[in-house]
Chain A
Amino acid sequence: MLRFLPALTLIAMLGPVIAGLWGTVLPALGQLPSAGLHGPSLDPFRDLFGWGGLFDAARLSAATGLIATALSLGIVALISASWAGTDAFQTLERLLSPLLSVPHAAAAFGLAFLIAPSGWVARLLSPVLTGWERPPDILIVQDPLGLAMIAGLVVKEVPFLLLMTIAAMGQAQPRRSLLVAQSLGYGRVTGWLKTVFPRVYTQIRLPVYVVIAYSMSVVDVAVILGPTTPPTLSVQIVKWMSDPNLSMRLTGAAAALLQLVLVIGALCFWWLGERIIARVGKRWIMSGRRGLLDAPIRVLSLGLGSISALAVFFGLASLLIWSFAAFWSFPNVLPDGFTMRTWTRHGPDAFTTLGETFLIAGVAVLLALALVLGCLEAEHRSGRPLTRRGLWMLYLPLLVPQTAFLPGLQTLLLSIGADVGRIPVIFAHLVFVLPYVFLSLGDPWRSWDTRNAIVAGALGARPWAVFWRVRVPMLLRPILTATAVGVAVSVGQYLPTLLIGGGRVSTLTTEAVALASGGDRRAIGVYGLVQTLAALVPFTLALIVPAILWRNRRNLHE
């Protein structure tokens, strides 16, 4: 049984991706029997290229994705170079888990509430500094350049890349390299960038690629913060896919393929950039310049990191205040009064949706845990660790843009008469939950001292007894953390729920994003908060449960 789990895991992870791509290619070539359309024909592409907004939409996707990734990586590199190993860095590390667990949609709403013309920032500065007596008529959120959207992506990708960097640094022994560099007269920042960063980057390269693919094709953040005329390509694809006129799906499918090509192109572009920067960097290292600009860079990086973290926290705070706000006139910093009205009106629905959200997340995460633990145990017993190719396979579902294969998967499910609904949604979530659970659990699982297994075996314990009675209890904390990561990933999913659920499954994320166009800030506050809670509570439990369970076992607390 155990022997087949790796294969089963691969099927659960890659099957939907491959099927979805196949289901995209057919309608893109005019083949959609359920709508009475038969190909092959190039009409879908002709229609796509005939759409006036195509160039702008594609440019927006590529530009926002690449700029957001470059900014996030830059901030992470500067923060790590300036602060790794200090107390300030440890504080930042502790903020990571809550920051990471905040769903993209909630963070985007929070940011919108901060920077909108009638948002908190404008209120704080008005009227004394700005002279505004009423919200200015300028487009800040959903600006045509996509700057707000880039900001929304950066505040969420910085914590993700920082976590990956910290994990990578564990293997690179940065302290010693830095010490050597400093004793040779290098400044801290330059020393770190020259000695540690090259090694760290090779480790976090795949996560960086994931950020590119994700940022270029994200839908929920783009709906909330991105421009509308035209929107990004991914948002337009979803519009076409949900058009009542079935033939629009053909255009949507063609656009989905274009999205895939766009992401592949952007990855190649980034790869090329890596080569160039490596070459320039080598010359910089060879130059022997000590670069003693430490102080300003450290201040700058701390500033950028703090702004990025505070944007999320204050965004959540503004969601909270809006959800309790009665009338709130501009430019008052706080509402004129507080009321429970929004919560009594939307609270019950929100908590019912929370149940559905947890049901989907729970089943998907349990399946993922069973598969991942099975794979890791099979790996342990066979003594064959994950290969490099296996690692790429893990990242593959995260590298293929969601908008490229989910529309196809939906079309395929409909055309074979399979029902859309909760169960397919769970399996669609599994595609994204699996890799994250695997990546979260893999390292702690493998760094467990296997002599424990030898001793237990020598004491007469069978392999499964070793697994359940020794390894799982000892690794309870990372297992619960991986569970929390999985729940957060599932809670945050927008597109799989929307498309595969066929409009019949609603989770907190789909409900919250659906509220975006209405602009009811109080209702958005309620849904955004409950959504954040749904992702945050499992993380808190993952901290509390082992602490209580192992309260008398000191060695399990480090």
Chain B
Amino acid sequence: MNKSLTLQDVCILRGGKPLIEVDHVIQAGETLTVMGPSGVGKSTLLAFITGTLPSAFTGMGQILLGDENITQKPSHSRHIGILFQDDLLFPHMSVGANLAFGMPAGGSKSERRAKIEAGLRDVGLEDFADRDPATLSGGQKARVALMRMLLSNPRALLLDEAFSRLDAEMRAQVRDLVFRTAKERELPVLMVTHDAEDAKAAGGEVIELKNLSQA
């Protein structure tokens, strides 16, 4: 089965003027890094893929997961995971509840609980299920956010400057964990960053976005 993420003739316009253009196939387990100056519309591209494009923008072109065209699907049935530079763990839920929120419904209470425990163990956070997310360190939060996304069974992974808030040591650690997991699960990854280190660690192709409306 084809597990790639395809951006086919994608063009995003603001006020009728083209802002960015991308035409690319990201194979399963590979990473495409998108770089470019801030304000060029990197995050807007991700919003188009998750189906949350602000109304000021118009998106054209197709997004395919494998052979399935998801361009018109609502955000919640796209199965595309996203990580931002902030962990965005829901502050009113425990660590475990955050994970359960993302897991597909079904299964008994104990099965779900076991899945949560296993997920936490995978990222080295055993026995953290009942903790308040606010009591975790930056690196721990980032790992919970990653596991929350993975447990929702995404078919592709988007990273929006996902590592830029972490300090240097944590950053390398979390980054390796993310790319390793993506490879293991054969997920196509699209990463937006302005950090060359991130691009190098990803090891995939790099495209540089130019500001079309200024050029």
Query: Which residues does A use to contact B, with CB under 8 Å?
Result: 382-384, 449, 451-463, 465, 469-470, 473-474, 476, 550, 552-556
Contacts and interface: CB of A to CB of B under 8 A. Distances in A.
B92 A550 contact: yes
Contacts of A462: 74, 76
Interface residues on B, range: 20 to 34
Given A451-B84, A555-B132, 11 more contacts: A453-B52, A457-B50, A457-B52, A458-B149, A460-B79, A461-B101, A469-B101, A473-B92, A554-B132, A554-B135, A555-B134
Contacts of A473: 90, 92
B81 interface: yes
A69 to B, nearest CB: 39
B71 to A, nearest CB: 16
Interface in B94-108: 94, 101-102, 104
B92 A459 contact: no
B132 A552 contact: yes
Contact of B86 (A382, A451, A461, A552): A451
A457 B132 contact: no
B78 interface: yes
Contacts of B16: none
B80 interface: yes
Nearest to B97: A469
Interface centre among A449, A458, A462 (most CB of B within 10 A): A458
A453 B88 CA distance: 10
Contacts of A555: 91, 132-134
A474 B55 contact: no
B133 to A, nearest CB: 7
A457 B91 contact: no
B54 A458 contact: no
8 pairs of A and B residues whose beta carbons are closest in the complex: A383-B55, A554-B134, A459-B102, A555-B91, A457-B75, A555-B134, A473-B92, A459-B152
B152 A553 contact: no
Given A384-B55, A451-B88, A556-B92, A458 B134 contact: no
Interface centre among B77, B78, B88, B149 (most CB of A within 10 A): B88
A255 to B, nearest CB: 48
B15 to A, nearest CB: 15
Nearest to B78: A458
Interface in B170-212: none
Contacts of B104: 460
Contacts of B134: 553-555
Interface in B43-73: 47, 50-52, 54-56
A457 B79 CA distance: 9
A139 B148 CA distance: 72
A61 B73 CA distance: 60
A555 B87 CA distance: 13
A452 B77 CA distance: 17
A553 B132 contact: yes
A552 B96 CA distance: 14
Given A461-B76, A553-B132, A555-B134, A455 B84 contact: yes
A449 B78 CA distance: 21
B82 interface: yes
A461 B104 CA distance: 10
Contact of A455 (B77, B78, B82, B94): B82
A456 B149 CA distance: 10
A457 B101 contact: no
Contacts of B91: 474, 553-556
A39 B79 CA distance: 69
Contacts, number: 82
Nearest to B83: A455
B55 A458 contact: no
Contacts of B52: 453-454, 457
B124 interface: no
Main secondary structure of the interface of A (DSSP, over half): helix
A65 B20 CA distance: 57
A459 B148 contact: yes
A458 B92 contact: no
Contacts of A451: 84, 86, 88
A86 B66 CA distance: 60
B44 to A, nearest CB: 12
A458 to B, nearest CB: 5
Contacts of A476: 92
A474 B132 CA distance: 14
Contacts of A554: 91, 132, 134-135
B154 interface: yes
A500 B81 CA distance: 55
Contact of B154 (A454, A458, A465, A556): A458
Nearest to B101: A459
B43 to A, nearest CB: 10
A458 B80 contact: yes
Contact of A460 (B77, B92, B133): B77
B75 A454 contact: yes
Given A463-B76, A555-B134, A474 B90 contact: yes
Contacts of B133: 555
A463 B132 CA distance: 25
A460 B81 CA distance: 9
Interface string B121-162: 000000000001111000000000000110010100000000
29 contacts: A382-B55, A453-B52, A455-B84, A456-B90, A456-B101, A457-B51, A458-B78, A458-B80, A458-B81, A458-B82, A458-B149, A459-B81, A459-B102, A459-B149, A460-B76, A460-B77, A460-B102, A460-B152, A462-B74, A473-B90, A473-B92, A474-B90, A474-B91, A550-B92, A552-B132, A553-B91, A553-B134, A556-B91, A556-B92
A115 to B, nearest CB: 48
Contacts of A552: 94, 132
B130 to A, nearest CB: 9
A455 B88 contact: yes
Contacts of A556: 91-92
Interface centre among A383, A449, A465, A553 (most CB of B within 10 A): A553
A551 B54 CA distance: 35
A457 B92 contact: no
Contact of A457 (B76, B84, B94, B135): B76
Contacts of A465: 76
A463 B74 CA distance: 9
Nearest to B55: A383
Contacts of B81: 458-459
Interface centre among B91, B132, B133, B148 (most CB of A within 10 A): B91
A476 B47 CA distance: 27
B148 to A, nearest CB: 7
A275 to B, nearest CB: 35
B75 A458 contact: yes
B149 A470 contact: no
Nearest to B145: A455
A452 B82 CA distance: 11
Interface centre among B52, B55, B92, B148 (most CB of A within 10 A): B92
B63 to A, nearest CB: 14
